[in-house]
Amino acid sequence: MDLYSYFRSSASYRVRIALALKKLDWNYIPIHLLKNEQLRAPYSDLSSAKLVPLLRDGDVLLSQSLAIIEYLEETHPTPPLLPPTAAERARVRALALGIACEIHPLDNLRVLRYLARELGVSEEAKDRWYRHWVESGLEIVEHKLAGSHATGRYCHGYAPTLADCVLVPQIVNAQRYNCRLDHVPTVMRVFEACMQHDAFISTQPSACPDANT
């Protein structure tokens, strides 16, 4: 399998973690977002959305990180990244979507560019925007994690799930942008647990082939 990725893309990092958790073989193909490689051919011919990640599995070309992880779950079910019952799976998916739909989309590169270029928002106000959505969004995740007996060492129980694949990249980004994190102790406890797990360590931005390029 080939993964088109950028080291700092948190959506790419989600898929890298899932691939590592499932111990799959894959090639890393870097697409440099700050150099706008996603906007030009040949990549733009592959990705109509001009976003990373993309995963190529034989003839199949997959987009959208959560759809890719669900695909990996269905094609390589062991170890599972979703728990066994429908209600538990819904909890894990809701945790993942609470980050992927409520926090991340507001803070990605094209949105920050629009704020600055089209709306003339100052650097300071743009940073405030970034921190607002991260900090308030994580507060909701904290509430869900701290308020449930289903939370264990990881977001759900004692093995990493889809929710951890999405949580960890968001926290790495939050740290990079100096967001407040002391108000989300359960989130940070889970994050620290993940960052002792090789699948999360070996795929983190600083460990990517294109790190700091």
- Indicate whether 185 belongs to the interface with its own copies (CB under 8 A): no
| Site track for its own copies across 76-95, x = CB under 8 A | ----------xx-xxx-xx-
- Indicate whether 129 belongs to the interface with its own copies (CB under 8 A): yes
> Applying CB under 8 A, which of residues 23, 40, 113, 128 lies at the interface with its own copies?
128
Closest to its own copies by CB, 115 or 159? 115
- Indicate whether 71 belongs to the interface with its own copies (CB under 8 A): yes
58-64 CB contacts, 8 Å cutoff, 24+ apart: none
Which residues have C-beta within 8 Å of that of residue 192, sequence separation ≥ 6? none
- Indicate whether 98 belongs to the interface with its own copies (CB under 8 A): yes
Of the candidates 60, 59, 49, 58, which has an alpha carbon nearest to the alpha carbon of residue 11?
49
> Applying CB under 8 A, which of residues 25, 41, 42, 74 lies at the interface with its own copies?
74
- Indicate whether 211 belongs to the interface with its own copies (CB under 8 A): no
- Indicate whether 209 belongs to the interface with its own copies (CB under 8 A): no
**2 φ, ψ (degrees, to nearest 5):** -115, 130
Q: Looking at the DSSP assignment, which residues form a beta bridge with residue 55?
A: 3, 62
Report the C-alpha gap between 154 and 4 in whole angstroms. Answer: 27
> Applying CB under 8 A, which of residues 34, 39, 49, 211 lies at the interface with its own copies?
49
Structural tokens at position 209: 């082939």
Q: Looking at the DSSP assignment, which residues form a beta bridge with residue 60?
A: 57
Of the candidates 168, 33, 7, 159, which has an alpha carbon nearest to the alpha carbon of residue 88?
159
Closest to its own copies by CB, 59 or 198? 59
Q: What angle do CA 194, 21, 86 make, to 5 degrees?
A: 90
| Site track for its own copies across 142-161, x = CB under 8 A | -xx--x--------------
Report the C-alpha gap between 204 and 195 in whole angstroms. Answer: 9
Q: Which residues bind its own copies (CB under 8 A)?
A: 48-49, 51, 60, 62-64, 66-68, 70-71, 74-75, 86-87, 89-91, 93-94, 97-98, 100-102, 104-106, 111, 114-115, 118-119, 121, 125, 128-129, 132, 140, 143-144, 147
